[in-house]
């Protein structure tokens, strides 16, 4: 799909992103149980929200929102779901960061673990083919090692229709992920899944962009260091 600006008027992206956050959060609340992760209370502050959820098929779902619109003119959201340790299914991921009139980065994937051709990852790739970013973001080597070949990586999103499509894709895929991931419960060796999930976390923690972005959002450097080490992508 080709996205075209209708006029020169700037489109404010934040209201649509906040609605997307609410929709994703409602899906998590309806289908999973919220719990208090050890140490996470430190990272629930004014303008910074971190919530964790789980159910019989998903061991950890995390939604992280930094609202720095008034102080830094930026807004960020991170959503990630890990299946239980007997489940070789992929990891759901959605990350987005935006200024008032532009999404600078949007990333979405069902990242494979034990099977690069896992049925749920194949489903994701097939069901996101319709979307072509106006501007694709190049992925670094650490990301290519863990993300699927169909990962959505978009930048410079300024058109309402494109942002709508990104948000709906992430929302619909979260529902589908929660609905489908249980199909693969108790089909893998736990030790192998632990190795694969830790491999994913190790590579995510190689991302130098994450702490820089969080610093640009005005978060405390000591909090950023502790959060990235212990609560963003915690190893098992």
User: Which domains, ranges and CATH numbers included, belong to the chain?
Assistant: 14-232 (3.40.1500.20)
Query: Which residues, listed in sequence order, are joined to residue 201 by a DSSP beta bridge?
Result: none
pLDDT attached to residue 34: 98
Sign of the alpha-carbon dihedral angle for 194, 187, 182, 93: positive
Q: What is the pLDDT of residue 4?
A: 74
Q: Which residues of the chain have pLDDT under 70?
A: 6-8
Cβ pair 3, 103 in contact under 8 A: no
pLDDT of residue 6: 66
Rounded to whole angstroms, the Cα distance separating 135 from 146 reads 22
- What pLDDT is recorded for position 235? 95
Q: How many CB atoms lie within 10 A of CB 13?
A: 22
Q: Give the pLDDT of residue 82.
A: 98
- Residue 175 has a pLDDT of 98
Q: Residue 7: what pLDDT?
A: 63
- Cα dihedral 46, 30, 174, 100 sign: negative
The pLDDT value recorded for residue 209 is: 86
């Amino acid at each position: 799909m080709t996205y075209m600006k209708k006029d020169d008027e700037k489109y404010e992206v934040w209201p649509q992103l906040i609605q997307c956050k609410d929709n994703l959060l409602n899906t998590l609340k309806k289908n999973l149980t919220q719990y208090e992760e050890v140490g996470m209370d430190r990272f629930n502050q004014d303008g910074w929200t971190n919530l964790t959820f789980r159910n019989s098929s998903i061991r950890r779902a995390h939604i992280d929102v930094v609202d720095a619109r008034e102080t830094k003119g930026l807004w960020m959201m991170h959503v990630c779901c890990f299946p239980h340790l007997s489940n070789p299914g992929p990891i759901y991921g959605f990350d987005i960061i935006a200024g008032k009139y532009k999404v600078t980065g949007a990333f979405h994937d069902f990242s494979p673990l034990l099977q690069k051709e896992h049925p749920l990852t194949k489903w994701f790739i097939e069901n996101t083919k319709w979307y072509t970013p106006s501007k694709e973001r190049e992925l670094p080597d650490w990301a290519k090692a863990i993300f699927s070949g169909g990962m959505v990586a978009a930048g410079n999103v300024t058109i309402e229709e494109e942002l709508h499509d990104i948000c709906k894709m992430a929302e619909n895929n979260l529902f589908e992920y929660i609905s489908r991931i249980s199909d693969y419960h108790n089909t893998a060796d736990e030790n192998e899944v632990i190795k694969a999930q830790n491999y994913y976390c190790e590579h995510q923690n190689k991302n130098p962009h994450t702490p820089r972005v969080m610093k640009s959002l005005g978060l405390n450097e000591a909090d950023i260091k502790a959060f990235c080490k212990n609560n963003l992508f915690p190893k098992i």
